[in-house]
Amino acid sequence: MADPGFTPTQLSARAAYLLRGNDLGTMTSAAPRLYPHMWSWDAAFVAVGLAPLSVERAVVELDTLLSAQWRNGMIPHIVFAEGVDGYFPGPDRWACTDLASAAPPGVRTSGITQPPVHAIAVQRILDHSRRHGRSTRAVAEEFLDRRWTDLVRWHRWLAESRDPTGVGRITLYHGWESGMDNSPRWDAAYSNVVPGPVPPYRRADTDVVADPSQRPSNAEYDRYLWLLEEMKQARYDDAGLVSAMSFAVEDVFVSAVFSLACDVLATIGEEHAAPKSDVRDLHEWSARFRNGVVATTDPRTGAARDHDLRTGRWIGTETLAMFAPLLCGGLGRDAERALLRTFEGPRFSGHPDLRFAVPPSTSPVSGDFRSREYWRGPVWPVMTWLFSWAFARRGWAERSRHLRAEGLRQASDGSFAEYYEPFTGEPLGSMQQSWTAAAVLDWLG
């Protein structure tokens, strides 16, 4: 069936209009109603989308995020917009200002983190700035000079505090830290979380998305919130969390993103005469985490796995996480080919019934697959963008172009949905999601 959607020119105009609409001044809300604050990895993707529109505004986005960086180096997963309510758990529930000695002064944040895609945004900002005159280039360069130390501090925190034993994999203490909040990847680990008394609460998400099948259940939410209580008891102390948390999983996807981001940042550092010791550390982390990712893989299929530190079990799911090595590299030739075949074949993007040939969050042939449920099946356009960007970087130009073309076909409905039903193409979750617009702007820019 033909897709009558918007033309590329109309689509990019609408995407730009959307980002302007979601602009709160110095931050862009992740989405107008469901996510009315700044989310960490959303902000990075948003900066990627802003860069072709305005390098200056893209820089502001990252500056706002980095101004909320914790003293230990963590970039928090949410920076709360001042005076905006309507999201749960909000800043009072997290209580970071009161409890966490590392929390930043003067800004309210959550107490967990999110995937480290920010170096990619810095690179896109620098790329775009080169197409402009001297003053715009200066804005980007000055940003890099000003924030280089913070970016390295962020990476150092991940490499040290979230991989204290040096295995080359990032430990998460909450499924939300993965950005794939409700993925079947976390089911086994959550099933071992026994919620203690959780202070009363009222969810806000189900007011916005009325169809409960698209959102996590209340029992799941109890566990999510219990983990917050555990963190609060440990006062968000990095060393304390290691033993305090009943959820502790090494996330292979975040680890691959981190390896890749270290590589990107190292290259930027080399090009801009950053301190040699920083560049050396970044290269080291990139290699350590690449090895850490590859060590989880099945030698024949190349599929990567998460690792539950509480049970010692490997978690092999047919989700986007299995493709982690395609982002950071490191597999042998045959295993990589096999993994690419899975990515493009009938278990994922090549499933014959898909509306568009883009990877669903969970394989349609997996027992875990749910076509409309949060991170259990639908397509996230921003994930399509991430793979298409990474594939281009890895030299797979044709594969990258194909993902871009299919991703754009999907987005041409103009809803900029948070996620899409993979078979029907129905837009789901939040509409006017900033990062979906950002992906489109980068593709069309």
Given the residues 181, 187, 344, 426, the one annotated as active site: 181
In whole angstroms, the minimum distance from the beta carbon of 37 to ligand GLC comes to: 9
In whole angstroms, the minimum distance from the beta carbon of 389 to ligand GLC comes to: 17
In whole angstroms, the minimum distance from the beta carbon of 179 to ligand GLC comes to: 4
Residue closer to ligand GLC by CB (options 214, 286) is 214
Given the residues 306, 308, 418, 442, the one annotated as active site: 418
For the chain, what is the radius of gyration of the CA atoms?
20
Binds ligand GLC by CB under 6 A, chosen from 56, 160, 181, 368: 181
What number of residues does the chain have? 445
CB nearest ligand GLC: which residue? 179
Q: How far apart are CA 139 and CA 141, in angstroms?
A: 6
Q: Which residues contact 68 (CB under 8 A, 6 or more apart)?
A: 38, 75, 76, 79, 104, 107, 109
Active site residue 373: no
In whole angstroms, the minimum distance from the beta carbon of 78 to ligand GLC comes to: 8
Residue 319 corresponds to which amino acid? Answer: T
CB 440 within 8 A of CB 382: no
Residue 179 is a binding residue for ligand GLC (CB under 6 A): yes
DSSP state at residue 28: B
In whole angstroms, the minimum distance from the beta carbon of 433 to ligand GLC comes to: 6
Binds ligand GLC by CB under 6 A, chosen from 27, 28, 35, 159: 35
Q: How far apart are CA 39 and CA 177, in angstroms?
A: 11
Residue closer to ligand GLC by CB (options 31, 60) is 31
Of 34-42, 125-133, 146-154, 196-204, the segment contacting ligand GLC by CB under 6 A is: 34-42
Of 38-46, 128-136, 185-193, 325-333, the segment contacting ligand GLC by CB under 6 A is: 38-46
Residue 41 is a binding residue for ligand GLC (CB under 6 A): yes
Residue closer to ligand GLC by CB (options 152, 208) is 208
Q: How far apart are CA 333 and CA 90, in angstroms?
A: 47
Partnered with residue 28 across adjacent β-strands are 23
Residue 87 is a binding residue for ligand GLC (CB under 6 A): no
Binds ligand GLC by CB under 6 A, chosen from 30, 74, 256, 390: 30
Residue closer to ligand GLC by CB (options 59, 383) is 383
Residue 39 is a binding residue for ligand GLC (CB under 6 A): yes
User: Taken in order 49, 55, 57, 59, is the CA torsion positive or negative?
Assistant: positive
Active site residue 42: no
DSSP state at residue 420: E
Any alpha helices (H) in 114-251, and if so which ranges?
A: 118-129, 134-161, 187-191, 205-208, 218-233, 238-244
Q: In the stretch 393-432, what mask flags binding to ligand GLC with x, by CB under 6 A?
A: ----------------------------------------
In whole angstroms, the minimum distance from the beta carbon of 186 to ligand GLC comes to: 12
Binds ligand GLC by CB under 6 A, chosen from 11, 42, 171, 173: 42
59 is written with which tokens? 């820089």
CB 1 within 8 A of CB 430: no
CB 189 within 8 A of CB 308: yes
Residue-wise DSSP of 222-258 = HHHHHHHHHHHHTTT-HHHHHHH-S--EEEHHHHHHH
Residue 435 corresponds to which amino acid? Answer: W
Residue closer to ligand GLC by CB (options 341, 370) is 370
Residue closer to ligand GLC by CB (options 41, 356) is 41
Q: Which residues contact 431 (CB under 8 A, 6 or more apart)?
A: 31, 415, 416, 417, 418
Residue closer to ligand GLC by CB (options 223, 235) is 223
Give the residue numbers annotated as catalytic, written as ranges: 181, 418
The residues of the shown chain that bind ligand GLC, judged by CB under 6 A, are 30, 35, 39, 41-42, 179, 181
